[in-house]
Amino acid sequence: MRLRFQLLVLLALSACTAVSYAPLPSQRAQGQIFVSAEGLKEPYESVGIVQVTRRGVLLFGFADPAGTDLAAAVSDVEGQVRRAGADGVINTRVEQTNYTTAARIAGAIFFFAPLPAEVTITGELVRLRRNQAPAGVPPALPVAPPSNGAPL
């Protein structure tokens, strides 16, 4: 009977779901970067590839002094995007170490063996092509204003 109770408690502690999120703008405004897990339907040019990795340990199962959470990694990505002169990141992939509640409690009990933690974000840096004609369409020629003030 006691073994069943212990198994139920262990099952309840290990059946938790970890959800990580980082706040991102829902709509693109001038000067704001965007992050998308998919491609774009509007024209863009590829600037390069970005990969940000943050590694550290979870002390006592919960304390994260190295900042291996998703929000810190997104902040690093934002810096990379701005340095590259890009508008955003597409085809983004996120990998993060997550531990169950039971593992975090074990980390708190066995504090001398911290839990390794890591978050990695990879994606393609892109610059949007604004106000450009579609491929194959020649640009319009500029029209000089009339010199005598007569209408065209």
Q: What is the pLDDT of residues 40-53, one digit of tens each?
A: 888 889 999 999 99
CATH number of 37-128: 3.30.110.70
Average pLDDT over residues 71-80: 87
Which residues, in sequence order, are CB contacts of 42 under 8 Å at separation 6+? Answer: 128, 129
Report yes or no: 36 and 49 within 8 Å, Cβ to Cβ.
Answer: no
Average pLDDT over residues 115-138: 77
- Cα separation, 139 vs 142, in Å, equals 9
Q: What is the pLDDT of residues 17-65, one digit of tens each?
A: 444 545 555 455 566 788 888 888 888 899 999 999 998 888 887 788 8
Q: Is 105 exposed, middle or buried (0-12, 13-18, 19+ CB in 10 A)?
A: middle
122 band by pLDDT with thresholds 50, 70 and 90: very high
Which residues, in sequence order, are CB contacts of 68 under 8 Å at separation 6+? Answer: 54, 55, 56, 58, 96, 97, 117, 118, 119
- Across the chain, what does the average pLDDT equal? 74
State what percent of residues in the chain have pLDDT above 70. 65
123 band by pLDDT with thresholds 50, 70 and 90: very high
